[in-house]
Structure 1
Amino acid sequence: MELHIVLDGGRDLAGQVYRQLSEAIRAGRLADGQQVPPSRLLAQQLGLSRKTVAQAYARLTLERLLVGRVGVGSFVCAPAAARPRVQAAAQLASAAVLRKWEAMATPLRRAAPQLRSRFDFLGGSTTPSHFPQDAWRRCVLHALRQDAQVRGRYAATEGLPALREAIARHTAFSRGLVCTAAQVLVTNGTQQALDLLGRLLLEPGCSVAVEEPGYPMARALFASHGARVLGVPVDAEGIVAASIPDGVSLIYVTPTHQFPLGMPMSVARRHALLARARAIGAIVVEDDYDSAFRYEGRPADSLQSLDTHGIVAFVGSFSKVLLPELRLGYAVLPQPLLPAALTVKHLSDWHCATMPQHALAKFIDDGYLLKHIRRCHALYAARRERLLQWFAGPLAPWFRLVPASAGFHVAALCVVPLDVALLIRLARRADVGLYPLAQFYADSPPQQGLLFGYGAIDVLDIDVALARVRDILLAMA
């Protein structure tokens, strides 16, 4: 990277270099300890003699703005008073737009790890210690070799063919999807997939139906596109399809493991939802965020596999199966949506990073993904069973669990009046992280209860944590 110096004319060249470097150091634009280019290299970049640059460096060294290290180079030695320049506030024409974004809620922004409780029931979190690090390292090395063959080129907007083929096979095997690799669009997580669909299908004033309670980030995202977001109630069978109003362009649902309550959508309700969507001309977005882990009952068909009219967009993520920091997800789109979706994705970020795509494709094809899912399934099943025992026993006087057969969180509803906010505060003092269901309601009075994620808490820790919660409840009573 070249050092930013602009020369004006041919007079006092050493003085010009000195003054610009001195100002940059004193203003804080060049950070303390930052290495400056060698005099020979900077001279080449500026088209000057090395002697000219050396004179500027010598003056800066004399003023102790640069310090030389033998055999290493010259480094910035900023004075203690050096601070970045404070800019005066300008009157921006876009001020109202900025205030809108500043005021927009992002309720699921995670607390910093150091602020987490020791025993934390945070939903959506996995246990990093169980990630197959050695297998992933082999896949990353393979990806580096693949990238080296085409380095310096942009890739396909829709994603690498190898990964799209792997996703098509995996979803057909695990979720019964009926699709080809041509329908798969690789995204930076589910959130980008939802954003692309929102940009694709919505304009200001359009109506979107979401589950109530439901995923607040989807609600906020669709609202950011200017859509009118309508909460539709859910019951024991899932979203009440008959309550979806006319004029809706997009219907967002989590049918396999309703977020946050956890119950699966019944087969009859799935057919009713598809019929209602066809009647009003809406696209159904099926968010299949954590269905890889199923513990009881027969798996239900995905909405996409039941769709015979091309109205279901299926979105999935590898954040819940592998690690959230990988930021890899996908959308399986009906054929009529694909050309426009590729335009939106191309304008958004051109394409996802290719190195993790190569690595994930090999990770799936070599069987590591299914092996990892089986290993985690056993871990989560043991944790889920321990939670069921606690809520059927010591915690039964206060809570009942909503039946859930998949995922790695459960919802516990209060069966007696309870100050949930106080319980959460007292639990935090006992180093137990609890999370309210109320944060997932927007259009109706919330049910009192808690969401218990068990992806990142060990079985033995569950006993310690819930014993503390029981003691707090007894003290509150």
Structure 2
Amino acid sequence: MDVHVSLHGRGDLAAQVYRQLLDAILDGRLRSGERLPPTRELARRLEISRNTVAVAYDRLVADGFLVGRAGAGTFVSAERVRATRSAPQGVVRPRAIWRSVAAEAPASTHEYDFRVGVPDPRLFPMETWRRLVARELRTSLAGYADPSGHEALRDAIARHIGISRSVRAGADDVLITNGAQQALDLIGRVLIDPGACVAVEEPGYPPARRLFRSLGARVAGVPVDGEGIDVTAIPNAARLVYVTPSHQFPLGTPMSLARRAALLAWAERRRGVIVEDDYDSEFRFGDRPLEPLQSLDRSGRVIYVGSFSKTLLPMLRLGFLVAPASLMPALRAARQLSDSHGELSTQAALARFIDEGLLARHIRKATREYAARHALVVDSLADDDRLRLVPSVAGLHLCARFSPGVSVRPAPRLALERLDAYCGESPAQQGLVLGYGAIQQAEIPEGLNVLKEALV
């Protein structure tokens, strides 16, 4: 273990070594059982006599913090370690907005997990993925790269979304990100001035709302009905609107073609920008998907955002955006300032995963499984008049509104998400958002029975 010790002056050097090693043991930097450097080596590094270091070691041994083992060296004693390391409390405070924004713990220990936006990791072809990543780790070159991301992946994504979603893009129009959230962050950095008005769906995606607020925007919730966002209700001051038209989050309804046309006309009239998050659209169980806003756009006012977090695994942190050419230089610069270019071997592995047809095969397999879970949830709740399911034919969740007078009491066995958590305006809408990606099909009936018992 390379221990950092700094000496000041020529005073009691043995006491200084003793105190700094003791502090390292007490705050957990030196852990139980770790071997300290030999006295000769530490003395040489500190440019002091070996005897000075030996005195400090002997004192720590006498106090019970170190133990010497003949022929092996000097080690931290297991009996005396009490890890209490922490940074100073400090007096510096963040900007006011961060007092109301907190990181969330994503893990769940509930018996029946109906969390939203969590795919089933057991469906992911992990062995195939390990093989692809291992291959890239053997061949990938070190060094910095294009902030747009791996060229082969940008090309693969452009072809994939061109075939599957009719998105009009080439490799140069694609920028790889660490998930959709980083894509939104880059867009906000490039387009949002402090105090600017940003319109979002109500109810809508809370992380997007919080992100735009953290960048200094005034976020306005715009009502969503059965056809999508109410374009007539977008504030006059807004110049950027964030929508999830393919599978509205969290209600699950698609935006109608008429409403898409109205939104594009708004952007043209107001010289605005539309951020189209193609959330959760890969898994479709019925109905043909409507044209994305991006493919209908003729004036370059739509930024298309996608992610592989739900399609594959959230831990991969892979997403992308497709932007008009006029914005790409600024977005590339923002990405470079943020984290340069992301993890290239993973990006290269995903490019092969797409090019070899493995992504399409995985989506087909996962869609069959999620369709069965979707149908099971619909069938189980269809005859319960306390809940009114919102029609949806895609994604990893369903939304159910409470009938008048109905609520749900806490159920320790259930991981549930309430509809009002997705609302930023008052009065909040009441209901549940039920994910079926994290729960196995066999567990759904009993989990829904527990839910029904919790409805009051």
SS in 2 for 1:446: coil
Match of 2:74 in 1: 74
Match of 2:126 in 1: 133
SS in 2 for 1:113: coil
Aligned pair partner of 1:241 in 231, 243, 256: 231
Contact 1:247 1:280 in 2 (8 A): no
Alignment of 1:245-324 (within 5 A): 245-324=235-314
RMSD, aligned α-carbons = 2.6
Match of 2:389 in 1: 401
Aligned pair partner of 1:343 in 330, 333, 336: 333
AA paired with 2:20?
Q
User: Partners in 2 of 1:306 and 1:196 — Cα distance?
Assistant: 23
Shift in CA distance, 322/72, structure 1 to aligned 2, threshold 3 Å: farther
SS in 1 for 2:221: strand
Match of 1:102 in 2: 99
1:189, CA displacement in angstroms? 1.1
Shift in CA distance, 141/44, structure 1 to aligned 2, threshold 3 Å: farther
Match of 1:456 in 2: 438
AA paired with 1:414?
F
Match of 2:6 in 1: 6
> CA offsets per residue over residues 117-154 of structure 1, 9 Å max, x none?
2112111111122221111111121121133xx23x22
Shift in CA distance, 28/433, structure 1 to aligned 2, threshold 3 Å: closer
User: Partners in 1 of 2:316 and 2:199 — Cα distance?
Assistant: 29
> CA offsets per residue over residues 18-77 of structure 1, 9 Å max, x none?
443244335654344333334455455445676765565445434433223456543223
Alignment of 1:2-41 (within 5 A): 2-8=2-8, 16-26=16-26, 28-39=28-39, 41=41
AA paired with 1:164?
R
Which shows bigger deviation, 404-413 or 347-356? 347-356
Shift in CA distance, 84/413, structure 1 to aligned 2, threshold 3 Å: closer
SS in 2 for 1:229: strand
SS in 1 for 2:327: helix
Contact 1:409 1:454 in 2 (8 A): yes
User: Partners in 1 of 2:12 and 2:420 — Cα distance?
Assistant: 69
1:195, CA displacement in angstroms? 1.0
User: Partners in 1 of 2:72 and 2:314 — Cα distance?
Assistant: 40
AA paired with 2:3?
L
Aligned pair partner of 2:178 in 172, 175, 188: 188
1:269, CA displacement in angstroms? 0.9
Alignment of 1:158-177 (within 5 A): 158-177=148-167
> CA offsets per residue over residues 150-187 of structure 1, 9 Å max, x none?
23x22222211122122112111211111111121111
Shift in CA distance, 449/87, structure 1 to aligned 2, threshold 3 Å: closer
User: Partners in 1 of 2:98 and 2:160 — Cα distance?
Assistant: 38
Aligned pair partner of 1:200 in 181, 190, 199: 190
Shift in CA distance, 44/314, structure 1 to aligned 2, threshold 3 Å: farther
User: Partners in 2 of 1:18 and 1:52 — Cα distance?
Assistant: 10
1:444, CA displacement in angstroms? 3.5
Contact 2:114 2:415 in 1 (8 A): yes
User: Partners in 2 of 1:174 and 1:314 — Cα distance?
Assistant: 14
Contact 1:163 1:360 in 2 (8 A): yes
User: Partners in 1 of 2:215 and 2:19 — Cα distance?
Assistant: 48
- The TM-score normalised by the length of structure 1 is 0.87
Is residue 142 of structure 1 aligned with residue 135 of structure 2?
A: yes
> CA offsets per residue over residues 417-447 of structure 1, 9 Å max, x none?
21x2xx241xx14x23332111111224233
Contact 2:309 2:318 in 1 (8 A): yes
Which shows bigger deviation, 25-34 or 202-211? 25-34
Shift in CA distance, 23/232, structure 1 to aligned 2, threshold 3 Å: closer
User: Partners in 1 of 2:150 and 2:326 — Cα distance?
Assistant: 21
Which shows bigger deviation, 379-388 or 445-454? 445-454
Shift in CA distance, 87/112, structure 1 to aligned 2, threshold 3 Å: closer
AA paired with 1:112?
A
Contact 2:117 2:435 in 1 (8 A): yes
Shift in CA distance, 78/230, structure 1 to aligned 2, threshold 3 Å: same
Alignment of 1:349-360 (within 5 A): 349-360=339-350
User: Partners in 1 of 2:64 and 2:401 — Cα distance?
Assistant: 66
Aligned pair partner of 2:204 in 200, 214, 219: 214
Is residue 442 of structure 1 aligned with residue 430 of structure 2?
A: no
Shift in CA distance, 468/161, structure 1 to aligned 2, threshold 3 Å: same
1:212, CA displacement in angstroms? 0.7
Contact 2:108 2:415 in 1 (8 A): no
Match of 2:108 in 1: 113
SS in 2 for 1:405: coil
1:460, CA displacement in angstroms? 2.4
> CA offsets per residue over residues 295-345 of structure 1, 9 Å max, x none?
111111111111111111111111101111111111111111111112211
1:381, CA displacement in angstroms? 0.7
Structure 2 residue runs of 5 or longer lacking an equivalent are none
User: Partners in 2 of 1:250 and 1:214 — Cα distance?
Assistant: 15
Match of 1:123 in 2: 116
1:103, CA displacement in angstroms? 2.5
- The TM-score normalised by the length of structure 2 is 0.91
User: Partners in 2 of 1:157 and 1:353 — Cα distance?
Assistant: 11
AA paired with 2:254?
P
1:110, CA displacement in angstroms? 4.0
Shift in CA distance, 247/463, structure 1 to aligned 2, threshold 3 Å: same
AA paired with 2:449?
A
Shift in CA distance, 65/299, structure 1 to aligned 2, threshold 3 Å: same
User: Partners in 2 of 1:155 and 1:31 — Cα distance?
Assistant: 38
AA paired with 1:451?
V
Shift in CA distance, 72/344, structure 1 to aligned 2, threshold 3 Å: farther
SS in 2 for 1:335: coil
Contact 2:381 2:387 in 1 (8 A): yes
